[in-house]
Amino acid sequence: ILARDIMLSHYCGNRRYHAQHVSTAGSVQIIRQAKEKNPNISCETTQHHFSLTEDHLVEFNTNYKMNPPLRQQKDIDAIIEGLRDGTIDAIACDHAPHTQLEKDVEFDKAPYGIIGLETSFGLSYTNLVAKGYLSLNDLIFKMSINPRKILGLPEIHIKSNNPANLTIVNTNVEWIVNTDNFKSKSRNTPFEAMKLKGKVCWTINNNQITKSSL
C-alpha cells in the first residue's frame, strides 16, 4: 500500500504525501528511495515502534496490542537509522486511549492502541538521545519543529511580547512510569513501572503555565 500510494503521488506531479506510523525496515527503505525523487514526501514513527519488539507479545498482554503491530529488532534498527539519516521526519505519540473494560478481554477481541502522550518524550530521550543515536537538538526537530512544518504551521519563536508556547524538560532526571500520576483517563500503557530518563516538567501554551504531574 505504501509503495502504491507513493507511486500515485509521483504520477500526480509529486504531490504531498505523508506516511504515518512507519514500523518496518521495508517501509523505511521505500520512503528513503522515494524522497530522492519527491521532496514532498514525509513520514513519522512512534516511540513504541523503536522501544518495543514483538517479543513482548508472548504473554498476550493487550496493552501491547497496537496498529501497526510491534515488529522485530531488525525493524527497530532500521527505524532508528531512518531517524538518524532524516528519512523519518517526525515522532508521533500515537495517543490512543481505551478503558480497562475494553482492554481486559481476550487478545484478539481487544481494540488496538495504547496511550502515548505522557511517555513520548521520556521514551524518545531514553532510547534515542541517551543511547547516542540522536542529539537533543535532533529530537526537538523530530518532536516539535518538523511536525509543525509538515502541518504547515508557523515556527515558534521566543521573542519579547510574543505569546509563550514552550515545553520545558529536564534531561537529567530519571523517573518511573506510574499511571496513577497520568492525567489521561485511560491507563492502557505497556510502560508501567519502566524507568526512563528525561521528563517534561512544564508546558506553556499561550502564556498558560501547566506543571507536569508525572
Question: What pLDDT is recorded for position 93?
Answer: 96
Question: What pLDDT is recorded for position 157?
Answer: 87
Question: What pLDDT is recorded for position 151?
Answer: 96
Structural domain spans, the chain: 2-156
**What string of pLDDT tens digits covers the 214 residues of the chain?**
999 999 999 999 999 999 999 999 999 999 999 999 999 999 999 999 999 999 999 999 999 999 999 999 999 999 999 999 999 999 999 999 999 999 999 999 999 999 999 999 999 999 999 999 999 999 999 999 999 999 999 988 888 888 889 999 999 999 999 999 998 889 999 999 999 999 999 999 988 999 998 8
d(CA 110, CA 100): 10
pLDDT tens digits for 109-155? Answer: 999 999 999 999 999 999 999 999 999 999 999 999 999 999 999 98
Is cis: bond before 68, omega within 30 of 0? yes
Instruction: Indicate the CATH number of 2-156 among 3.40.50.12280, 3.30.365.10, 3.20.20.140, 3.40.30.10.
Output: 3.20.20.140
- With DSSP H G I counted as helix, E B as strand and the rest as coil, what are the percentages for the chain, rounded to 5? 40, 20, 45
Helices 2-11 and 25-35 pack at an angle, to 10 degrees, of 10
Positions annotated as catalytic residues are: 94
Question: What pLDDT is recorded for position 49?
Answer: 98
pTM here? 0.95
d(CA 129, CA 141): 13
